């Protein structure tokens, strides 16, 4: 971890004269960028505790008042550690299920009401994460908003599916000692697995603390052997305060992204998973206000999980020239408009081919500098869910990037399970310059779109 400063940016108050009057972006969401500009040597070790208040001013920010309020830097440290371990376990679970799905074709694949696929992995991850969080903090203290329910698993004709989920959960929990977690005394029964899944029944809201889980974000990518993510975030009083993003098929080394996923799958089977040249899969995490985001490789067989020494810090790209920037967009066309984002990319001057990725892996790509811009503009009637964005937002912001809606407003996680009040779409970028250009392009192009 980096050398620490005795202060952390809990709140930043900005005065309008510092920025052009035409800027529409909500500048309250630029804390990481401002920390780098105002305090270039400022970094935080989340394991240390300090309490102080300081106002910083400099020749480059005479009109900017930055207030550092008292903040316990150990706050959420236990939650972050448990969350990272839970996501690591979930990623290993998903990897096994996906291998069976691709190479053995013996994995149950169901369909949700919206026709998106759901597999054994979705329910198994939800049960595993629910169990780990409940054991760590007590069932009575854990509230979870999650995507899956137990309705399908509880049907009389789903006995085989439920047994497969229960078996998968117990296989995952048997690995708990590798993460410093005490496993169940006896394997969980089917009723206990159903109970763990059904406890994820929170509906969120503006007050209190709750976890947000997407057990397999990008299930379509998962069943195709492509990119997907396990996403877990903690929200307190409507604000995401920590995020963990597991990306089992997203290689630690950027060079592997140049290969098609099918070719990568073949190579992954031929290459030892311990090979440094492959280094498949990673987990990213961040805590709000810490000034840093981190990435670890997935735990390999017969290894013990190390916290937090195996992590390295990640930062967004420094590219601010649109001609050199790469943008991400969803693979699926069902709930987003590729034509509109393509038009925006052209108007802003983006020349590189888009990086199309399933799931919140797009957030991971921005956070570690593999791409500079992520844009999503949903088709009419589609409502964005909080579990599809919460973890990624925290990680990008702490890596130095910006995430807002298309009007420059922060995403609102305090109105239940959906991002209510969203202005047109979602934009994530590596810096304020690119972000503002995208927002201006949206303003100029929106009235002529069919969205």
- Catalytic site residues? 122, 219
H, E, C per residue of the chain: CCCCCCCCCCCCECCHHHCCCCCCCCHHHCHHHHHHHHCCCCCCCCCCCCCCCEEECCHHHCCCEEEECCCCCCCCHHHHHHHHHHHHHHHHHHHHHHHHHHHHCCCCEEECCCCCEEEHHHHHHHHHHHHHHHHHHCHHHCCEEECCCCCCCCCHHHHHHHHHHHHHHHHHHCCHHHHCCCCCCCCCCHHHHHHHHHCCECCCCCCCEEEEEEEEECHHHHHCCCCCEEEEEEEECCEEEEEEEEECCCCCCHHHHHCCHHHHHHHHHHCCCCCCCCCCCEEEEEECCCCCEEEEECCCCCCCCCCCCCCEEECCCCCCCHHHCCEEEECCCCCCCHHHHHHHHHHHCCCCCCEEECCCHHHHHHHCCCCCEEEECCCCCCCCEHHHCHHHHHHHHHCCCEEEECCCCCCCCCCCCECCCCCCCEEEECCHHHHHHHHHHHHHHHHHCCC
The residue among 122, 127, 93 whose CA lies nearest residue 197 is 127
Q: Check whether 332 is labelled as a binding-site residue.
A: no
**Which two tokens mark 370?**
């593999």
Beta bridge partners of 355: 328
Spatial neighbors of 95 by CB under 8 A, at least 6 apart, are 248, 281, 298
CA angle 48, 54, 59 (to 5 degrees): 120
Do 361 and 229 touch, CB atoms closer than 8 A?
Answer: yes
341-356 burial code (b ≥16 CB/10 A, e <16): beebbebbebeeebbe
Q: Check whether 279 is labelled as a binding-site residue.
A: no
Residues in the chain: 451
Q: Check whether 74 is labelled as a binding-site residue.
A: no
Q: Check whether 255 is labelled as a binding-site residue.
A: no
Q: In this structure, how many other beta carbons lie within 10 angstroms of the beta carbon of residue 293? A: 28
In the annotated binding site, the residues are 147, 214, 217, 388
Residue ranges of the binding site for Mg(2+) = 147, 214, 217, 388
């Amino acid at each position: 971890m980096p050398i620490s400063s005795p202060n952390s940016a809990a709140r930043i108050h900005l005065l309008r004269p510092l920025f052009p009057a035409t800027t529409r972006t909500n500048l309250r969401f630029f804390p990481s960028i401002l920390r780098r500009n105002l305090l270039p040597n400022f970094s935080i070790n989340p394991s240390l505790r300090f309490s102080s208040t300081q106002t910083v001013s400099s020749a480059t920010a005479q009109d900017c008042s930055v207030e550092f309020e008292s903040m316990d830097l150990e706050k959420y440290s236990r939650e972050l550690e448990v969350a990272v371990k839970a996501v690591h376990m979930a990623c290993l679970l998903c990897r096994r299920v996906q291998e069976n799905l691709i190479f053995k074709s013996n994995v149950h694949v169901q369909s949700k009401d919206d026709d998106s696929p759901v597999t054994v992995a979705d329910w198994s991850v939800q049960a595993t994460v629910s169990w780990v969080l409940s054991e760590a903090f007590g069932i009575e203290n854990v509230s979870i908003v999650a995507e899956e329910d137990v309705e399908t698993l509880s049907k009389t004709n789903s006995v085989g599916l439920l047994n497969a989920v229960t078996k998968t959960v117990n296989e995952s929990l048997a690995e708990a000692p590798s993460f410093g977690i005490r496993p169940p005394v006896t394997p969980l029964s089917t009723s206990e697995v159903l109970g763990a899944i059904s406890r994820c029944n929170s509906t969120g809201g503006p007050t209190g603390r709750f976890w947000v889980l997407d057990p397999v974000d990008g299930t379509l990518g998962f069943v195709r052997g492509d990119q997907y993510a396990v996403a877990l975030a903690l929200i307190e009083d409507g604000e995401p305060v920590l995020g963990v993003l597991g990306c089992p098929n997203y290689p630690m080394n950027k060079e592997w992204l140049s290969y098609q996923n099918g070719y990568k799958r073949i190579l992954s089977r031929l290459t030892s998973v311990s090979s440094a040249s492959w280094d498949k899969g990673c987990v990213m995490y961040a805590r709000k206000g810490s000034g840093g985001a981190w990435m670890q490789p997935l735990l390999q067989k017969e290894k013990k999980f190390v916290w937090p020494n195996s992590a390295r810090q990640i930062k967004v790209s420094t590219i601010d020239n649109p001609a050199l920037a790469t943008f991400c967009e969803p693979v699926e066309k069902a709930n987003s408009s590729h034509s509109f984002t393509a038009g925006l990319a052209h108007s802003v001057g983006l020349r590189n081919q888009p990086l199309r990725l399933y799931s919140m892996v797009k957030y991971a790509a921005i956070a570690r500098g593999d791409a500079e811009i992520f844009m999503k503009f949903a088709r009419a009637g589609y409502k964005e869910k909080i579990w599809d964005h919460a973890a990624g937002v925290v990680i990008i912001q702490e890596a130095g990037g910006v995430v807002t809606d298309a009007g420059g407003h922060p995403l609102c996680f305090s109105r239940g399970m959906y991002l209510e009040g969203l202005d047109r779409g979602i934009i994530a970028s590596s810096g304020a310059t690119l972000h503002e250009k995208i927002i201006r392009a949206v303003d100029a192009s929106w009235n002529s779109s069919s969205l």
